[in-house]
Amino acid sequence: MSLRRARAIMYSVVALLAVAAVLFTRPLPPRSNTPAGEILTKDPTARLWRERYDTVGQGESLISVLARGGVSEMIAREAIKTATMLDPRRIRAGMPVLVRTDTTDTLKTEIILRLAVDRFLHIKRDSTGWAAAEERLPWRTDTVVVEAVIKTNLYDAMDEAARDVLPRDARYELTNSLADIFEYRVDMSRDLQIGDRFRVMAVRRVGPQGAVRMDSIIAATMKLSGTMTEAIRFRSMKAPGDFFDASGRSLRTGFLHAPLEFRRISSGYGMRRHPILGTMRNHKGVDYAAAPGTTVRAIGDGVVIKAGWSNGYGNMVEIRHPNGFVSRYGHMRRYIVYAGNRVTISQKIGEVGSTGMSTGPHLHFEVLVHGDSRNPSVTLRSAGTEPVPSNERVAFADRRTRLLTLLESTPVLASAESSSVRQAGAARQ
DSSP per-residue codes, 111-152: EEEEEETTEEEEEEEETTEEEEEEEE---EEEEEEEEEE-SS
Number of Cβ within a 10 Å radius of residue 24 = 7
pLDDT per residue, tens digit, the chain (429 aa), is 554 555 555 555 445 444 444 333 333 333 334 444 667 776 666 677 788 888 888 888 888 888 888 888 888 888 888 888 888 777 888 888 988 888 777 777 888 988 887 888 899 988 888 999 888 888 888 888 999 999 988 888 998 998 888 888 888 889 989 988 998 888 887 778 899 999 999 998 888 777 888 889 999 999 988 889 999 999 999 888 899 999 999 988 888 888 998 544 455 555 555 455 555 455 678 888 888 999 999 999 999 999 999 989 999 999 999 889 999 999 999 999 999 999 999 999 999 999 999 988 999 999 999 989 888 877 887 666 778 999 999 999 999 999 999 998 865 522 234 333 334 443 444
Confidence at residue 17, expressed as pLDDT on a 0 to 100 scale: 45
**Distance from the first to the final alpha carbon of the chain:** 96
Confidence at residue 37, expressed as pLDDT on a 0 to 100 scale: 60
Confidence at residue 387, expressed as pLDDT on a 0 to 100 scale: 87
The answer to whether 162 and 174 are in contact (CB under 8 A) is yes
Confidence at residue 10, expressed as pLDDT on a 0 to 100 scale: 54
Confidence at residue 316, expressed as pLDDT on a 0 to 100 scale: 97
Confidence at residue 187, expressed as pLDDT on a 0 to 100 scale: 81
Sorted by where each starts, the structural domains of the chain and their CATH numbers stand as 38-136 (3.10.450.350), 140-252+386-423 (3.10.450.350), 264-381 (2.70.70.10)
Confidence at residue 429, expressed as pLDDT on a 0 to 100 scale: 44
Confidence at residue 319, expressed as pLDDT on a 0 to 100 scale: 97
Which residue type sits at 325?
A: F
Which residue type sits at 335?
A: Y
Number of Cβ within a 10 Å radius of residue 146 = 28
Which one-letter DSSP state was computed for residue 426? Answer: -
Confidence at residue 81, expressed as pLDDT on a 0 to 100 scale: 87
- Dihedral Cα 193, 200, 185, 300, nearest 10 deg: 130
Confidence at residue 279, expressed as pLDDT on a 0 to 100 scale: 54
DSSP 171-225: HHHHHHHHHHHHTTT--TTTT--TT-EEEEEEEEEE-GGG-EEEEEEEEEEEEET
CA angle 182, 187, 191 (to 5 degrees): 115
